[in-house]
C-alpha cells in the first residue's frame, strides 16, 4: 500500500465562494489545491448579467493569494428574464462558462430562480449554440412533494424533457444524491454528466438524523438513504467519465447553521481533496480518483487539463472544529474527525 499519491492538479466544478469576509476565507482554502473552480452565482443580489460576472470575477481575484495559480470560472444565475442576447454576450466575453438553473426557492439564495422553465427555451437554444453549459440544481419545490423525493421528481417532470428537447446542450446534473440520478446520467447521451460531493459519498441521512439532528451535515439536496449513497459510490468507482468532482462547498457561519431555521450547506473546502481520497480509498477506487478529480471535468467542459501536479501523503490529521471568518466561527464538514490523507 503506497503512502503517496501524485495526481494532475484537480479542479472544483461546483463551489460557493460567497462575498466579503467569507470570500476571503473560502478562496484561499480552495486555491490551496484546485487550479480552477466553477463559482456559483447565488449571491445577494445574484450574478445575472455578464457585467455582474466580471465584477464578481474581479472580487474573487482580489481574494486570491498572490502565489496561487487559481482561476475562477464564472456562471450566470438563470432567471425568468434571462435572454438569448445575455447568453451570447456572456459567451463572447470569455469569463462565463455556464448558466445555473435554480428552481425558485430550491436552496440558499434561490428566490430569484426560475419559475417557468418553458419560458427559457430560446435561452437554452442560445446556450447550446455558443457552448455555455447548463448547470442544474435538480429538485422540484412543490410543497406536496416529499423532500427526499424531489430530485427524482425533477428528473421525471423537467430534466428528461430538457435533455430530449435540447440534445446539443451540455448539461451538468449537479450534486446528485440518488440512485435515480446516477442511473439517469448513465443512460443519457454524452452531453449529460454529473458532479458528486464528498458529503453525499461519505454520508447518508443517518448521519443527519440519528442521535439528534446534525445541522452541519444539512445540505440541499438533503442526504438520502444508504442505498442511494451506495449507488453514488458505485458510480464514481465505475470510472465513468460522466462523473466528476464538484464539492458544493458552501460556507455558513456557525450561528446560522445552529439556529431555529438552520441554513443548508457543508463547507468542505479546507479538506476537499483529502475527503475524496478518504472515501475513494474506502470503496477501493483510489486508482479512479485522478480521472474523477482532474480529467473528466475539463474534458466535459471542453477545457484543457491542468499540467501541474498535487501530491497526497498518508499522514493522519484532524480537521479543526472551527474555521475563523473575521472573528466569527464556522464549522467545516467532517470537523473534529481524522483523515488519513493530506495534501503535501
Catalytic residue numbers, as ranges? 248
Q: Is 14 annotated as a binding residue?
A: yes
Question: For residue 52, what is the enclosing H or E element?
Answer: helix 50-63
* Cα separation, 136 vs 203, whole angstroms: 22
Q: Is 17 marked within a binding site?
A: yes
Can you tell me the distance from the alpha carbon of 18 to that of 39, in angstroms, rounded to the nearest whole number? 9
CB distance 237 to 217 below 8 Å: no
How big is the CA angle at 261 (ends 139 and 226), to the nearest 5 degrees? 50
342 labelled binding-site residue: no
**Residue 69 assigned ligand-binding role:** no
- From the CB of residue 316, how many other CB atoms can be counted at a distance below 10 Å? 9
Give the Cβ contact number of residue 301 at 10 Å: 21
The annotation status of 42 as a binding-site residue, yes or no, is yes
120 labelled binding-site residue: no
Q: Is 248 annotated as ligand-binding? A: yes
What is the C-alpha to C-alpha distance for residues 189 and 155, in angstroms, rounded to an integer?
15
* Side-chain-facing half-sphere of 59: CA atoms under 13 Å: 21
314: three-class secondary structure by DSSP:
strand
18 annotated among ligand-binding-site residues? yes
Q: Residue 73, SS3?
A: strand
Check residue 11 and give left, alpha or beta (phi > 0: left; psi -120 to 50: alpha). Answer: beta
CB burial readout 116-138, b (16+ within 10 A) else e: ebeebeebbbbbbeeebbbbbbb
Q: What is the Cα–Cα distance from 230 to 242, expressed in whole angstroms?
A: 17
Q: In whole angstroms, how far apart are CA 13 and each of 98, 141, 194, 245? A: 11, 24, 10, 6
Residue 45 preceded by cis peptide, ω within 30: yes
Tell whether 220 is in a known binding site. Answer: yes
CA distance 137 to 159: 10
252 is in an annotated binding site: yes
286 annotated ligand binder: no
Binding-site positions for substrate read 16-18, 42, 137, 220, 252, 264
Q: Residues annotated as binding site for Zn(2+)?
A: 14, 16, 100, 137, 175, 248
Output the known binding site.
Answer: 14, 16-18, 42, 100, 137, 175, 220, 248, 252, 264
Amino acid at each position: 500500500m503506497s503512502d503517496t499519491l501524485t495526481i494532475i492538479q484537480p479542479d472544483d466544478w461546483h463551489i460557493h465562494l460567497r462575498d466579503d469576509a467569507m470570500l476571503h476565507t473560502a478562496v484561499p482554502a480552495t486555491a490551496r489545491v484546485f487550479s480552477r473552480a466553477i463559482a456559483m452565482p447565488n449571491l445577494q443580489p445574484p450574478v445575472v448579467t455578464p457585467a455582474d460576472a466580471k465584477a464578481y470575477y474581479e472580487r474573487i481575484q482580489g481574494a486570491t493569494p498572490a502565489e496561487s495559480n487559481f482561476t475562477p470560472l464564472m456562471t450566470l444565475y438563470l432567471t425568468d428574464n434571462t435572454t438569448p442576447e445575455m447568453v451570447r454576450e456572456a459567451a463572447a466575453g470569455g469569463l462565463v462558462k455556464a448558466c445555473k438553473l435554480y428552481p425558485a426557492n430550491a436552496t440558499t439564495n434561490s428566490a430569484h430562480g426560475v419559475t417557468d422553465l418553458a419560458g427559457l427555451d430560446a435561452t437554452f437554444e442560445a446556450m447550446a449554440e455558443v457552448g455555455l453549459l447548463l448547470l442544474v440544481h435538480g429538485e422540484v419545490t412543490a410543497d406536496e412533494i416529499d423532500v427526499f423525493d424531489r430530485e427524482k421528481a425533477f428528473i421525471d417532470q423537467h430534466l428528461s424533457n430538457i435533455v430530449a428537447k435540447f440534445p446539443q446542450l451540455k448539461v451538468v446534473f449537479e450534486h446528485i444524491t440518488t440512485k435515480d440520478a446516477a442511473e439517469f446520467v448513465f443512460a443519457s447521451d454524452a452531453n449529460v454528466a454529473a458532479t458528486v460531493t464528498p458529503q453525499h459519498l461519505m454520508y447518508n441521512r443517518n448521519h443527519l438524523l440519528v442521535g439528534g439532528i446534525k445541522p452541519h451535515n444539512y445540505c440541499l439536496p438533503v442526504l438520502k438513504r444508504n442505498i442511494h449513497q451506495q449507488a453514488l459510490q458505485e458510480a464514481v468507482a465505475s470510472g465513468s467519465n460522466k462523473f466528476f468532482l464538484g464539492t458544493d462547498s458552501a460556507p455558513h457561519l456557525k450561528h446560522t447553521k445552529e439556529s431555529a431555521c438552520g441554513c443548508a450547506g457543508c463547507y468542505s473546502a479546507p479538506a476537499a481533496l483529502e475527503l475524496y481520497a478518504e472515501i475513494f480509498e474506502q470503496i477501493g477506487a483510489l486508482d479512479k480518483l485522478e480521472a474523477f478529480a482532474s480529467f473528466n471535468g475539463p474534458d466535459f467542459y471542453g477545457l484543457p487539463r491542468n499540467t501541474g501536479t498535487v501530491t497526497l501523503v498518508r499522514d493522519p490529521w484532524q480537521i479543526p472544529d472551527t474555521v475563523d471568518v473575521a472573528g466569527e466561527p464556522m464549522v467545516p464538514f467532517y470537523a473534529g474527525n481524522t483523515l488519513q490523507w493530506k495534501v503535501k
